[in-house]
Amino acid sequence: MYEIRIHSRGGQGGVTAAKLLALAAFRDGKYATACPFYGAERRGAPVVSFVRIDDEPIKIYSQIHEPDLVIVLDASIMDVVDVLQGLKKNGTVLLNSAHPISGCNGICRHVDLTGIALATNLVVAGSPILNTPVIGALAKMGVVSLPSARAAIQEMFSDERNVKAAEAAYEELKV
């Protein structure tokens, strides 16, 4: 089972990213679950979402304490939450940043999801929406296929800017 923990702030699209990722995995013929965990809902508050992907039916629906992959949609969260806690040995970190991450114990990747969202005008209430660009980056990492990522995005959103943002992140991420 491949387990993913997504750290974001309310309004950035972390919960929706988890749902999109699970849908894309399902389109790839996998079993998947997506589960958010947050307190009082408000824009800007820390939010954690969890995704499990497997070839077999998944019977666990809970928080993930030892993820294979940690996604950080807002680097400022790292000042208040230990996002690397429990990361499996040789696990992967994907950080929304134009610059590399330091202090990572596993494989570290970074891509400027915010810049991509702003460039494609994916903004709601003044905040860049990061859910679709991150799915493109995850497709580049092989978590899901790019065709399934596109299909999942198109199923949830009619605006083609979302697919363009995912494709831009796919192209920008270096693996």
Enclosing domain of residue 105: 2-172
pLDDT in tens, 94-116: 999 998 877 776 789 999 999 99
pLDDT in tens, 52-78: 999 999 999 899 999 999 999 999 999
Q: What percent of the chain has pLDDT over 70?
A: 96
Residue predicted with more confidence, 84 or 101: 84
Q: Mean pLDDT across the chain, nearest whole number? A: 93
93 and 133 in contact (C-beta within 8 Å)? no
The CATH number that applies at residue 119 is: 3.40.920.10
- Split into its structural domains, the chain has a count of 1
> Residue 48: which of 27, 62, 32, 31 has the closest Cα?
62
What does the DSSP 8-state code read for residue 88?
A: P
Number of neighbouring beta carbons within 10 Å of residue 24: 28
- The dihedral of CA 167, 71, 128, 125: what is its sign? positive
pTM score, whole prediction: 0.94
